[in-house]
Copies of this chain bind each other. A is one copy, B any other.
């Protein structure tokens, strides 16, 4: 892609710590410094690295009303949902301080995996999260990026959570479920008082429904995402799912990671 090639002369470590905001560059071709001395004057005006991904800036988060002058745009993206399986049961069994520790471990490991593949952690909801791939950082291979991130989530969470000894689990390891779907979404601000964007649409809801069906250690991938992912779904089994609110059964691909 032309924009990525141009950007690479400015930001040598594309997958590492970007010096300019990769979202502003990919979306608007504007170089906004986010690291190094050039970033300091921007920081004075409240423009800092985004919590959603440290390689984008807060302009990306708030660009809809002020830069794009429209509250939302259509985009093609891959949506990933992840949460801790059996967390509701666990939350009634162990002390809340311990629960906090588990949630923090989960959220931090997931973010690490998602950022490594240019996704953003768009929403965190207790023991769950929603990530977007291909916005604002453009990744033509967003389906693959999301699957790689999901595998990394499973690997990192298995290491971090699997070793916890919790009596309430009665010997069962804590596990994470992931659901992934690709398609058209509407990205923007959907309330007049929040300035952080999100994605909505049928694509988002199907990804969420897939995640709700994933067992601990599983990644459930929609046929649309799998079709883009090539060899990444090698070894996956197929599971026919009837999902609430979805008319047709979905032939999900299931990657079992442990």
Q: Which residues of A contact B (CB under 8 A)?
A: 46, 51, 54, 71-72, 74, 86-89, 91-92, 96-97, 99-100, 103-104, 107-108, 111, 123-127, 130, 184-186, 188, 190-195, 198-202, 204-206, 209, 244-247
Contact A194 B51, beta carbon cutoff 8 Å: yes
Q: Is the CB of A193 within 8 A of B51?
A: yes
What are 9 A-B pairs at a CB distance below 8 A? A51-B195, A86-B245, A96-B185, A96-B200, A100-B188, A103-B190, A123-B125, A124-B191, A126-B198
Specify which chain B residues have a CB less than 8 angstroms from the CB of A209 in the assembled complex.
88
B-side contacts of A199, CB under 8 Å: 126
Task: Give the docked Cα–Cα distance between A99 and B199 (Å).
Answer: 11
Contact of A88 among B127, B192, B246 (CB under 8 A): B246
Alpha-carbon distance A123/B200, docked complex (angstroms): 15
Q: Given A100-B71, A190-B104: A92 and B202 within 8 A (CB)?
A: yes
Interface centre among A188, A195, A202, A204 (most CB of B within 10 A): A202
The complex places the Cα of A191 from the Cα of B195 at a distance, in Å, of 21
A191 to B245, CA, bound (A): 32
- Tell whether A200 pairs with B103 under 8 Å between CB atoms, given A191-B111, A191-B124: yes
Q: Which residues of B contact A54 (CB under 8 A)?
A: 193
Contact residue among B111, B200, B204 (Cβ-Cβ distance under 8 Å from A100)? B200
Most buried by B among A97, A126, A191, A192: A191
